[in-house]
Amino acid sequence: MTRLRQLAWDVWILIKGYWGSEERWSARLLLTAIIGLNLGLVGVNVLQNQANGALFTALQQQNAAAFYRAFVIVIVLILLYLVVAVLRVYLDQTLQLRWRRWLTDQYVTRWLANRTFYRMRFSGRVDNPDQRISEDVRLFIQRSMFLGLGFLNSLATLASFAALLWYLSGSITLPIGGFAITIPGYMFWVAVLYSGFGSAIAHLIGRPLIRLNNRQQAVEANRPLRQFQAHHPLQQPVPDVPVVVQPGYLVLCAANRLAPLFLRRDPARRANPDRERI
């Protein structure tokens, strides 16, 4: 419980900055519109379910007028769903872009202030802070929006379809130990058990991937630095990756750096500037 409380507090610290900033009103307006569009998509799904039921009922009864009427309703609902879904994605991406720009600017400003970037090199607490700022901010915002809106969408879908599933499933009677137990809305309870069991299995399988995902980000962040140091051997290499330098390479680098100094002092070169360089 303590770890969950600390996690919730850390997430709140990261989130509250932007939603209390100078962009808070536009951000709140975008979030309200996104939530409204999500709820609208759930409503369209419910209407599509009812229209599909009327379509197949008319097809079973061989009622041509009812079939064409239900078919037109289904087409209109599909088009409406596409419009609402595209608009929701557009507003979602706009909000994520604004949030990421603001949060990245805050972290970069703090990282460069008071030579913080220099002191962090020797702390050993954060590896590749520039890569962390770029990548972790993006992942945090994307997953926060995905999980938050996904949870809200799941609640709305559950509330919308639970009553429908309860009404359609009816009740079932199970004889257990000489007693007859009647379960009302049995399809609803089967759906709840199925989703709960699937969520538990997904959690058990996916939990070890958290550590592997963090390791992957660290390795991918070290790769550009290793490549840079491989081309610039005078820089300090990454501890776990040895850099092999040829014996004459440093001498050649020093000669290239010192050659312009000697050439500027050559009187023959000043007299003949078009002379071929050595």
Quote the percentage of the chain above a pLDDT of 90.
Answer: 25
Tokens of 8: 């919730």
**Which residue in 215, 232, 234 sits closest to 224, CA to CA?**
232
pTM of the model as a whole? 0.69
> 């790769």: which residue's tokens?
223
Amino acid at 94: T
- Tell me the pLDDT band of 166, cut-offs 50, 70 and 90: confident
**How large is the average pLDDT for residues 26-40?**
94
Contacts of 52 (CB under 8 A, 6+ apart): 74
* 276 has a pLDDT exceeding 50: no
CA distance 66 to 57: 9
User: Quick one: the chain helix, strand, coil %, rounded to 5?
Assistant: 80, 5, 15
Whether the per-residue pLDDT at 245 is higher than 60: the answer is no
Which one-letter DSSP state was computed for residue 22?
T
Structure tokens at 278: 């050595």
95-130 pLDDT, tens digit per residue, is 999 999 999 898 888 888 877 777 777 776 666 777
Q: So where are the chain's domains?
A: 2-169, 246-278
- Average pLDDT of the chain? 79
Residue that wins the pLDDT comparison between 245 and 137:
137
By residue count, the chain amounts to 278
16, 28 Cβ separation under 8 angstroms: no
Alpha-carbon gap, residue 33 to 45, rounded angstroms: 18
Read off the pLDDT of each residue in 244-267 and give the average, rounded to a whole number: 49
